[in-house]
C-alpha cells in the first residue's frame, strides 16, 4: 500500500469522501489516505493527525516526498485536537476500535460544527459508533462491509440529520448491533461476520457457565444471550458454511 494504491479498505473509505472536501484524517497511518485523495484531485486541503511521534514523522516524510506540503498539514496530537473549529468539513477515522472512535468524536465534538460528513471504519465494536451517532444527532446515511486479508471491516458514513431515520424499518437494538443498511443487504460477508461472532459468543457463554457464580457473571451471560438471540433472528436460521 502507498499513496498511489490504497488497500481495498482505505479505497472504500476514500470513495465516501465528498469531492473538494477539507479533510481531517485522524490516525492517518503514513498519511496514505489524504495523500491519495490530494494526488487524485479529490480534496482541496487535508490534515493528517497522529498521536505518536513515530507515525507522525512517517506521515510527514511521506507528504514531503510526494510534494504535498502545500495541500496536506501533518500534525501531532490526540484525536480532534489536531484541528481548529471550522478547519475541516469531512472527518475520516479508520483502523481503530469502535469505542475509541466514539471516544475521539465525543472528546472533540466541539470541533464538529463545520463538519458535513464523518467516514468511520472501526475494526471492532461498530455498535459504539452507531450509538454515539444516535446520541449526538448524526444520521447514518450509508454502510459498507468488506473482507480483506481474512479480516472483515465495516465502513460507516454519517451526516447531520435525523439520527433515528435509518432505524425506522428495523428494531433499533438490532440495527445498532449489525447496521441498518447492512441488514437490508445481508450479503455474504455480512453473514460470515455474524456467524463467526455468534460462534465466539457461544464459546464465551460456555466459559461463563463454568465460572464462579456472581452478579457480574450473570449479567454478562444475559448480555451474550441477548446478542446471540438478535443475530439468530437476523440470520433467520440460515445454514453456515463457517460453523
Q: Are residues 99 and 193 in the same domain?
A: no
Looking at the domain assignment, is residue 243 inside a domain?
Answer: no
183 falls within a domain = no
Q: Are residues 140 and 36 in the same domain?
A: yes
Q: Is the pTM of this model over 0.85?
A: yes
- 240 assigned to some structural domain: no
Query: Is 1 inside a domain boundary?
Result: no
14 and 50 in a single domain? The answer is yes
Q: What is the DSSP string of the chain?
A: --SSS--HHHHHHHHTSPTTEEEEEES-TTTHHHHHHHHTT-EEEEEEEESSHHHHHHHHHHHHHTT-TTTEEEEESSGGGGS-TTS-SEEEEEEE-HHHHHHHHHHTGGG-TT--EEEEEESS-HHHHHHHHHHTTEEEEEEEEEEETTEEEEEEEEEES-TTGGGTTS-HHHHHHH-HHHHHH--HHHHHHHHHHHHHHHHHHHHHHTSPP-HHHHHHHHHHHHHHHHHHHHHTT---S--
Q: Does residue 193 share a domain with residue 156?
A: no
Q: Which domain holds residue 146?
A: 8-168
181 in a structural domain: no
pLDDT (tens, 9 = 90+) of the chain, 243 residues, equals 566 789 999 999 999 999 999 999 999 989 999 999 999 999 999 999 999 999 999 999 999 999 999 999 999 999 999 999 999 999 999 999 999 999 999 999 999 999 999 999 999 999 999 999 999 999 999 999 999 999 999 999 999 999 999 999 999 999 999 999 999 988 999 999 999 999 999 999 999 988 888 899 999 999 999 999 999 999 986 656 655
Indicate whether 43 belongs to any domain.
Answer: yes
Per the structure, the count of domains in the chain is 2
- CA distance linking residue 20 with residue 89, whole number of Å: 10
Flag whether 180 is in a domain: no
Provide the β-strand partners of residue 146. 153
| Residue where a domain terminates, one of 111, 138, 168 | 168
- Rounded (10°) CA dihedral 154, 157, 158, 163: -50
Cα 229 from chain centroid (whole Å): 24
Looking at the structure, do residues 150 and 31 belong to the same domain, yes or no? yes
Same domain, 196 and 144: no
Amino acid at each position: 500500500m502507498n499513496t498511489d494504491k490504497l488497500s481495498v479498505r482505505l479505497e472504500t473509505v476514500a470513495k465516501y469522501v465528498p469531492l473538494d472536501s477539507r479533510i481531517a484524517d485522524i490516525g492517518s497511518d503514513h498519511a496514505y489516505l489524504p495523500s491519495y485523495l490530494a494526488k487524485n484531485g479529490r480534496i482541496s486541503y487535508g490534515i493528517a493527525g497522529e498521536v505518536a511521534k513515530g507515525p507522525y514523522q512517517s506521515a510527514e516524510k511521506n507528504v514531503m516526498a510526494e510534494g504535498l506540503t502545500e495541500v496536506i498539514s501533518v500534525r501531532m496530537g490526540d484525536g480532534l485536537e489536531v484541528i481548529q473549529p471550522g478547519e475541516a468539513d469531512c472527518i475520516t477515522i479508520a483502523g481503530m476500535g469502535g469505542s475509541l472512535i466514539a471516544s475521539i468524536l465525543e472528546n472533540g465534538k466541539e470541533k464538529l460544527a463545520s463538519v458535513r460528513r464523518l467516514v468511520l471504519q472501526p475494526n471492532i465494536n461498530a455498535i459504539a459508533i452507531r450509538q454515539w451517532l444516535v446520541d449526538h444527532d448524526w444520521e447514518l446515511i450509508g454502510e459498507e462491509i468488506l473482507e480483506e486479508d481474512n479480516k472483515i471491516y465495516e465502513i460507516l458514513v454519517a451526516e447531520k440529520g435525523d439520527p433515528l431515520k435509518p432505524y425506522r424499518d428495523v428494531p433499533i437494538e438490532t440495527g445498532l448491533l449489525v447496521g441498518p443498511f447492512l441488514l437490508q443487504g445481508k450479503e455474504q460477508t455480512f453473514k460470515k461476520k455474524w456467524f463467526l461472532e455468534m460462534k465466539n459468543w457461544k464459546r464465551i457463554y460456555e466459559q461463563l457457565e463454568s465460572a464462579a457464580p456472581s452478579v457480574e457473571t450473570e449479567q454478562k451471560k444475559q448480555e451474550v444471550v441477548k446478542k446471540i438471540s438478535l443475530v439468530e433472528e437476523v440470520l433467520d436460521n440460515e445454514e453456515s458454511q463457517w460453523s
